């Protein structure tokens, strides 16, 4: 299990490193220069996306929703869930020694420092909790990575689009047209997204947080839309309104990391107060 956790953490770091190369914080590069995958830095990223793109089918997503959305795996308070997630720390990493709590606190504290509402701060703190999926034996390609709709044509704006050629849905007339099983501008609430930590946590938090927070949680890895505008044809006016919050959140997630750890014990009472305000005492996973 420890080896598996370590491998997961490395995949997660490589994915996030890859995102920073695609979407640098201060860049005057043209957009097409961000997404240069002709010579990727590491084959691991490519291998990860191959598995992700081949296996994330419409039927696979429906099966995962059925398996996990009964929320019968574990019950935890917010802080217990974060401590559980901390078992993903990779002790072999020589460059940075931050556990999941510290990454989440760096994100949320940056949001708080800019004076955003308390629900936004809480969202920053819990946005990655869905990664507990890997502790329930989910494969890495079904936990992290860029997300995208299933049940319709895969956009060529998704990273490594060529890998979708081996996805069974690519040859299925029911799923391979522009709209697939959906209607034009049907709204993303009616669209099934690829399975991963974003989608899982969205469903967990569905009845606890405001819509703005739910959009952040569900779509913060949906780069094909919030950076490439590839799925406008499925979105309605409400989606566009809410996506402003997704875009506002993204820089905090990508660019707030630093080797200096926040003091979790000092900050814990504030986040417990937020959890009491918005969340049930025990969260069902």
Query: For residue range 171-182, what is the model confidence (pLDDT) as tens digits?
Result: 999 999 999 999
191-222: per-residue pLDDT in tens?
A: 999 999 999 999 999 999 999 999 999 999 99
- Please report which confidence band the pLDDT of residue 113 belongs to, taking 50, 70 and 90 as the band edges: very high
Q: What pLDDT shows up at residue 22?
A: 76
The 10 Å Cβ neighbour count of residue 33 is 11
Q: Of residues 63 and 15, which shows the higher confidence score?
A: 63
- Residue 91, pLDDT score: 34
Give the whole-angstrom CA distance, residue 276 versus residue 213.
16
Q: What is the mean pLDDT of the chain?
A: 87
- More confidently predicted of 6 and 78: 78
What integer is the mean pLDDT of 15-25?
74
- Chain segment 114-130, per-residue pLDDT in tens: 999 999 999 999 999 99
> Which of 2-11, 99-108, 167-176, 185-194 is predicted least confidently?
2-11
State the number of CA atoms in the 13 A half-sphere of 112 facing the CB: 16
Alpha carbon distance, N-terminus to C-terminus of the chain: 20
Per-residue model confidence (pLDDT) at position 261: 78
Report pLDDT for 103: 82
DSSP tag of 149: B
Here the tokens at position 110 are 């940056």
Q: Are 212 and 242 in contact (CB under 8 A)?
A: yes
DSSP-derived secondary structure for 85-117: HGGG--TT-SS----HHHHHHHHHHHHHHTT--
Domain coordinates in residue numbering, the chain:
2-23+44-284
Which of residues 7 and 279 earns the better pLDDT score? 279
Task: Quote the CA–CA distance of 225 and 36 in Å, as a whole number.
Answer: 18
> pLDDT value at position 271?
95
């Amino acid at each position: 299990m420890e080896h598996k956790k370590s491998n997961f953490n490395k995949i997660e770091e490589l994915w996030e490193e890859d995102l920073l190369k695609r979407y640098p914080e201060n860049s005057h590069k043209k957009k097409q220069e961000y997404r240069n995958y002709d010579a990727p830095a590491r084959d691991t990223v490519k291998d990860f996306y191959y598995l992700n793109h081949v296996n994330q089918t419409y039927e696979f997503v429906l099966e995962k929703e059925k398996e996990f959305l009964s929320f019968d795996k574990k019950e935890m308070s917010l802080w217990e869930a974060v401590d559980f997630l901390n078992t993903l720390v990779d002790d072999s990493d020589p460059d940075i020694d931050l556990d999941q709590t510290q990454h989440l606190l760096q994100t949320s504290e940056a949001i708080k420092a800019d004076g955003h509402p308390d629900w936004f701060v809480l969202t920053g703190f819990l946005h990655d909790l869905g990664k507990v999926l890997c502790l329930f034996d989910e494969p890495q390609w079904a936990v992290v990575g860029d997300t995208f709709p299933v049940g319709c044509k895969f956009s060529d704006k998704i990273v490594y689009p060529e890998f979708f050629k081996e996805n069974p849905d690519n040859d299925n007339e029911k799923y391979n047209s522009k709209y697939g099983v959906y209607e034009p501008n049907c709204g993303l609430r009616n669209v099934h997204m690829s399975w991963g930590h974003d989608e899982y946590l969205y469903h967990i938090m569905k009845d606890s947080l405001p819509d703005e927070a739910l959009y952040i949680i569900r779509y913060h890895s949906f780069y094909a839309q919030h950076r490439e505008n590839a799925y406008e044809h499925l979105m309605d006016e409400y989606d566009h309104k809410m996506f402003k919050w997704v875009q506002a959140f993204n820089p905090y997630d990508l660019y707030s990391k630093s080797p200096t750890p926040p003091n979790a014990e000092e900050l814990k009472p504030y986040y417990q107060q937020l959890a009491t305000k918005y969340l049930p005492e025990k969260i069902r996973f």
